[in-house]
Chains A and B, each alone.
Chain A
């Protein structure tokens, strides 16, 4: 177990292994995405309340749910960085922050587009949207701290601390924003994800889209980590050989 752990920490080993994994992730991802999108856009029956607008749910819900994974992921990677000084963990943490920001923006944008039809406005201070927005700010904080610190090692550890603090805070924010929101709007207007029990032809494509987006998340994370490995290990012999071979 320990050996496996320290081996996984080696960027070279991860680079080679992930190279083998990638096709097994990309192919199902592509298939699920195609099936899910076509199904959701063309074959799902329009909602009796929301009509055609319901189709945005198939984008919004997957992105919104995966966005919540970023801070825990960065906090775990940060802990590994601080405790075991594993370089790979920091590479993952580094690429996860901007990726998380993009996913959060997509979740916010799709939520806002969806809301524009249901609520008649692009933005309301809904609990979920608000805490998503705050999570976006926290991610931006981690990204700007990373770019402000020049020393890679110091940046790694500082961002690790901030990610752990941020992760705890995201949970506190989530609860406090919900609390704030319910107290300010006792009669909550339509909520995005509280769907009534739906027939299979509605939720099966949703599940497909969720799995597809999770795979998309995994693939983007692995690809950007591989990129980061090449950048940071550019002086290492195996990277030089790799470049010459191409």
Chain B
């Protein structure tokens, strides 16, 4: 029955696959953040004004804030079940660097909770009367920005996963951390509307994504070790 040692890459793939299978079996966890995004984005026109001109001005911000809140809402699923059933302990006991395993969980989580929001955003953008030329930029910025939101949120969840009631504290910790991404995302959309070159802005977003990909899983891993302790 002896098998050879798995490589870190194999452990990474196994973890990614496992989390995707779980998401497939728990469709509620996938659908709820998505519906939440749609509902929050719908509340803005009701709260502000149905006037297309006014909506067009705030559309980018509305989409970004809705995506931010949806990402926050979805975060709680990331480690909770694993913490409660002990799978997290098994993850920590793996001989592979925790960085890769945490990254695998983050990626699969983004694929099921972040990506659907990005994909539906043009529809909401249309309903909010976002100017036509901004669609592409909006999609690109969300595509680069929502993974950062997930990676940052992962740190917050990892720190609070052992707590009984953590909804609010998670928001208090995570939302301020997300401000730079929100700023970069909305500014990029607005500046392209003003006719600016896209390159520099995307470079900043790219830098944020790379920075988050390298550093955030390390912080999440450290936080998970503390929470399981």
Whether, in the assembled complex, A154 has its beta carbon less than 8 Å from a beta carbon of chain B, the answer is yes
CB < 8 Å: which of A145, A161, A164 contacts B169?
Answer: A145
Q: Which residue on chain B has the smallest CB distance to residue A82?
A: B222
Known pairs A165-B219, A166-B177; A144 contacts B183 (CB<8 A) = no
Size category of the A interface is 20 to 34
Task: Count residues of chain B with CB under 8 A from any CB of chain A.
Answer: 27
**B-side contacts of A165, CB under 8 Å:** 155, 177, 219
Q: Determine whether the beta carbon of A148 is less than 8 Å from that of B226.
A: no
Q: Which of A94-102, A110-118, A177-185, A235-243 contacts B (4 or more CB under 8 A)?
A: A177-185
CA A169 to CA B208, docked complex, whole Å: 11
Q: Determine whether the beta carbon of A162 is less than 8 Å from that of B179.
A: no
Q: Which residue on chain A has the smallest CB distance to residue B225?
A: A157
CA A122 to CA B229, docked complex, whole Å: 46
User: What's the minimum C-beta distance from B229 to chain A, rounded to whole angstroms?
Assistant: 6
Whether, in the assembled complex, A158 has its beta carbon less than 8 Å from a beta carbon of chain B, the answer is yes
Whether, in the assembled complex, B180 has its beta carbon less than 8 Å from a beta carbon of chain A, the answer is yes
Whether, in the assembled complex, A172 has its beta carbon less than 8 Å from a beta carbon of chain B, the answer is yes
Encoded as 1 (CB less than 8 Å from any B CB) or 0, chain A from 8 to 21 comes to: 00000000000000
Whether, in the assembled complex, B71 has its beta carbon less than 8 Å from a beta carbon of chain A, the answer is no
Whether, in the assembled complex, A76 has its beta carbon less than 8 Å from a beta carbon of chain B, the answer is no
**B-side contacts of A168, CB under 8 Å:** 215
Whether, in the assembled complex, B175 has its beta carbon less than 8 Å from a beta carbon of chain A, the answer is yes
Identify the interface centre among A82, A165, A169: most chain B CB within 10 Å of its CB: A165
Whether, in the assembled complex, A219 has its beta carbon less than 8 Å from a beta carbon of chain B, the answer is no
Whether, in the assembled complex, B88 has its beta carbon less than 8 Å from a beta carbon of chain A, the answer is no
User: What's the minimum C-beta distance from B149 to chain A, rounded to whole angstroms?
Assistant: 13
Q: Which residue on chain B has the smallest CB distance to residue A166?
A: B177
* 196-223 of chain B: CB within 8 A of chain A: 208, 215, 219, 222-223
* 122-173 of chain A: CB within 8 A of chain B: 134, 137-138, 140-141, 144-145, 148-149, 153-154, 157-158, 161-162, 164-166, 168-169, 172-173
Q: Which residue on chain B has the smallest CB distance to residue A131?
A: B179
Encoded as 1 (CB less than 8 Å from any A CB) or 0, chain B from 166 to 196 comes to: 1001001101110110011001001100000
Whether, in the assembled complex, A176 has its beta carbon less than 8 Å from a beta carbon of chain B, the answer is yes
Whether, in the assembled complex, B150 has its beta carbon less than 8 Å from a beta carbon of chain A, the answer is no
Q: Which residue on chain A has the smallest CB distance to residue B173?
A: A141
Per DSSP, chain A at the interface is: helix
Known pairs A145-B160, A165-B219, A180-B187; A154 contacts B226 (CB<8 A) = yes
CA A169 to CA B156, docked complex, whole Å: 13
Q: Determine whether the beta carbon of A154 is less than 8 Å from that of B222.
A: no
CA A158 to CA B160, docked complex, whole Å: 9
Known pairs A161-B159, A161-B222, A183-B191; A145 contacts B173 (CB<8 A) = yes
CA A148 to CA B177, docked complex, whole Å: 19
Q: Determine whether the beta carbon of B187 is less than 8 Å from that of A183.
A: yes
Q: Determine whether the beta carbon of B159 is less than 8 Å from that of A158.
A: yes
**A-side contacts of B166, CB under 8 Å:** 148
CA A145 to CA B179, docked complex, whole Å: 19
CA A168 to CA B180, docked complex, whole Å: 11
Closest 6 CB pairs of A and B: A141-B173, A176-B180, A137-B176, A157-B226, A176-B183, A180-B183
Excluding A158-B159, A162-B173, 11 further A-B contacts by CB distance (< 8 Å) are A145-B159, A148-B160, A149-B162, A154-B227, A162-B159, A165-B155, A169-B180, A173-B176, A176-B183, A176-B184, A183-B190
Please, could you name 24 A-B residue pairs with CB atoms under 8 Å apart, sorted by A?
A134-B176, A134-B179, A140-B172, A141-B173, A141-B176, A144-B169, A145-B160, A145-B169, A148-B169, A149-B163, A154-B229, A158-B223, A158-B226, A158-B227, A161-B226, A162-B155, A165-B177, A165-B219, A168-B215, A169-B177, A172-B180, A176-B179, A177-B183, A183-B187
